[in-house]
Homo-oligomer: A and B are copies of this chain.
Amino acid sequence: MITLDDVRSAAAVIAPHVVRTPLLPFGPGWLKPENLQPIGAFKLRGALNALARLENRSNGVVAYSSGNHAQAVAFAAHLHGVPAAIVMPDNTPTVKIEATKALGAEVFIVGITERVERAEALVAERGAALIPPFDHPDVIAGQGTIGLEILEDLPDVEAVIVPMSGGGLISGVATAVKALRPDVRVIGAEPALAADIAASLKAGSLIRWDPVERAQTVADALRDEPSALTWSHISKLVDDVITVTEDEILAAVAHLARRARLIAEPSGAVAVAAQAKFGGAGVGVVSGGNVDPALLARLLVA
């Protein structure tokens, strides 16, 4: 498992390249708007930390991702002058594919179940380094910097509410928060349609859901499942899970636009939907903002 020192070290490495996002008052709680990062999502933190720590990156980097990690690796690689090859599933929103290409990465589109295999093949062919979306200590430590910042700004916070999928974000955040303030509650948020972590915590062991089933949620960045590494953090550090319906997710996107002037993608609004059900004075992490403009337009006039 990663440590508070890993997270602090990541914070020093990534500070020059990420936005130090503020906490924004929102209802009885606050928002941590990670959609304001240059690529529109928190994923930049983990990718920057992982890439900066690679010993051999001369043959480039490879990543597989439903979108935001793709842009994060593409951005980090571009920053370090390293070629990036990104494998994306064929159900990725066009806006995320285009944004990844615009950052100078080479993009490979494959079926959703084939992406790991294809990424590993590219690594073998090119001698490149794989940067996994969540299953890596450096990625987890990078995401954990969000937890450090929340406690810096609000040492007396009651709860931190974090979306879960592969579990990299909540593993990092929970490590930082629980090391510094064990009394602060760390609450995961999941779409009910992809609530495998809620089911796993209830069962006491990691339960796998069919990827095709999980792919039904509108929260397209939350269709992954934990690895052994992230599950070991989640099972020890996460206090509770709040699951949300598809309607609650879309309502949170509209609410963020109208009341916080923030554009969130459905996945990025899942913790805010959970925050509304939590009711207390918690911080909800707005994890990403790369929404399909047509979807946002429909929600604004609904």
Interface residues of A (CB under 8 A from B): 19-22, 24-25, 33, 35-36, 38, 40, 257-258, 260-264, 289-290, 293-294, 296-298, 300-301
A289–B258 alpha-carbon span in the complex (Å)? 9
Of the candidates B33, B264, B300, which one forms a contact with A296 in the assembled complex, judged by CB atoms under 8 Å apart? B300
Which residues of chain B are within 8 angstroms of A300 by Cβ–Cβ distance?
A: 293-294, 296-297, 300
Of the candidates B25, B260, B261, B301, which one forms a contact with A297 in the assembled complex, judged by CB atoms under 8 Å apart? B301
A264–B24 alpha-carbon span in the complex (Å)? 16
Assess the A261–B36 pair: CB atoms within 8 A: yes
Assess the B263–A257 pair: CB atoms within 8 A: yes
The distance from the CB of A299 to the nearest CB of chain B, in whole angstroms, is 8
Q: Which residue of B lies closest to A35 (CB)?
A: B261
Assess the B20–A22 pair: CB atoms within 8 A: yes
Of the candidates B24, B258, B260, B293, which one forms a contact with A257 in the assembled complex, judged by CB atoms under 8 Å apart? B293
Q: Which residue of B lies closest to A33 (CB)?
A: B36
Q: Which residue of B lies closest to A293 (CB)?
A: B300
A257–B35 alpha-carbon span in the complex (Å)? 11
- Of A36, A261, A263, A300, chain B has the most CB atoms within 10 Å of the CB of A261
The distance from the CB of A41 to the nearest CB of chain B, in whole angstroms, is 9
The distance from the CB of A214 to the nearest CB of chain B, in whole angstroms, is 25
The distance from the CB of A292 to the nearest CB of chain B, in whole angstroms, is 9
The distance from the CB of A25 to the nearest CB of chain B, in whole angstroms, is 5
A-B CB contact pairs (8 Å), 8 listed = A19-B25, A24-B36, A36-B260, A40-B261, A261-B264, A294-B300, A297-B298, A297-B300
A298–B35 alpha-carbon span in the complex (Å)? 22
A25–B294 alpha-carbon span in the complex (Å)? 25
Nearest 10 pairs of A and B residues by beta carbon: A261-B289, A297-B297, A261-B263, A297-B300, A293-B300, A35-B261, A297-B301, A40-B261, A25-B38, A19-B22
Which residues of chain B are within 8 angstroms of A25 by Cβ–Cβ distance?
A: 19, 38
The distance from the CB of A87 to the nearest CB of chain B, in whole angstroms, is 25
Q: Which residue of B lies closest to A258 (CB)?
A: B293
A22–B33 alpha-carbon span in the complex (Å)? 11
The distance from the CB of A271 to the nearest CB of chain B, in whole angstroms, is 16
A35–B256 alpha-carbon span in the complex (Å)? 13
A261–B39 alpha-carbon span in the complex (Å)? 10
A228–B33 alpha-carbon span in the complex (Å)? 40
A49–B21 alpha-carbon span in the complex (Å)? 24
A24–B20 alpha-carbon span in the complex (Å)? 9
A282–B228 alpha-carbon span in the complex (Å)? 46
A290–B258 alpha-carbon span in the complex (Å)? 8
Which residues of chain B are within 8 angstroms of A301 by Cβ–Cβ distance?
A: 293-294, 297
Assess the A262–B260 pair: CB atoms within 8 A: no
